[in-house]
A = this chain, B = another copy of it.
Amino acid sequence: MKNYITKKAIIVLSGGLDSCVTTAIARAEGYELALLHLNYGQRTEARELQAFNDIADFYDIGHRLVTDISYLAAIGGSSLTDKSMAVEEAEIDQARQAVPSTYVPFRNGNILSIAVSWAEVIHATDIFIGAVEEDSSGYPDCREIFYDKFNALLACGLPEGVRIQVGAPLIHLSKAQIVQRGIELGAPLHLTWSCYQGEAAACGICESCRLRLRGFEQAGVKDPIKYLIR
């Protein structure tokens, strides 16, 4: 299948539902894939890394980079990395204006910058990230305009002749649509991990679990992973 004109893409793969489906989409589009995982000192890092490797194994992708950016935990400001803050049991049905406590300041700016550095070295032309605008309301770095502006930065901030662009193929999808897209593409949703709190079983009550469970419910599909509370 591989040939000399195959374009190479880096996928930011946390190991969650969204990034798994993003991987499946890029693969279906024919890209040669390289997978980037970031440890940023989040509570569930070990479980996420396992999911990353399980998904990479499923797709038989050897080109992997796991990078430690736990300085984000040292900087603080998020319940995802700061164990003195509680992960809120989010009221996801209620429209919220505020940024959730799980927001890690400028996390996606940091992640994309690393992806760009790696892309320059391995000659990848595309970076895909599983950001979702609707379901991640309140995260300012999950909006389409963020990626538009980041691409404008890349259009002028790279060496002459180097072109790299960031794509966010899920940006306008709902969680239910993401589940459906994943199933259509045969993505290994049973290997993914989304919970912000648990490691043995997903908690079922954190913001990420509730968005995920609602997505599966609306898609009319049973979530294949194990929950403590359902």
What is the interface of chain A, defined by CB distance below 8 A to chain B?
65, 67-69, 71-72, 74-77, 97, 99, 103-107, 109-110, 112-114, 116-118, 120-121, 140-141, 143, 145-146, 149-150, 152-153, 155-160
Contact = CB atoms under 8 A, between A and B. Distances in A.
A109 B99 contact: no
Q: Is the interface of A mostly helix, strand, loop or mixed?
A: helix
A169 B105 CA distance: 25
Q: Which 6 A-B pairs have the closest CB atoms?
A: A105-B120, A77-B121, A109-B113, A149-B153, A110-B113, A67-B71
Contacts of A97: 160
Contacts of A149: 149, 152-153, 155-157
A67 B103 CA distance: 20
6 contacts: A99-B159, A106-B116, A109-B116, A140-B158, A149-B149, A150-B157
A219 to B, nearest CB: 30
Contacts of A159: 99, 103, 140
Contact of A141 (B77, B114, B157): B157
Contacts of A152: 149, 152-153
A197 to B, nearest CB: 22
Given A67-B71, A146-B157, 18 more contacts: A65-B74, A65-B75, A69-B71, A72-B117, A75-B117, A75-B121, A77-B117, A104-B117, A106-B113, A106-B117, A109-B153, A109-B157, A110-B114, A110-B117, A113-B113, A141-B157, A145-B156, A150-B153
A110 to B, nearest CB: 4
A71 B66 CA distance: 9
Contacts of A74: 65, 67
A71 B114 CA distance: 8
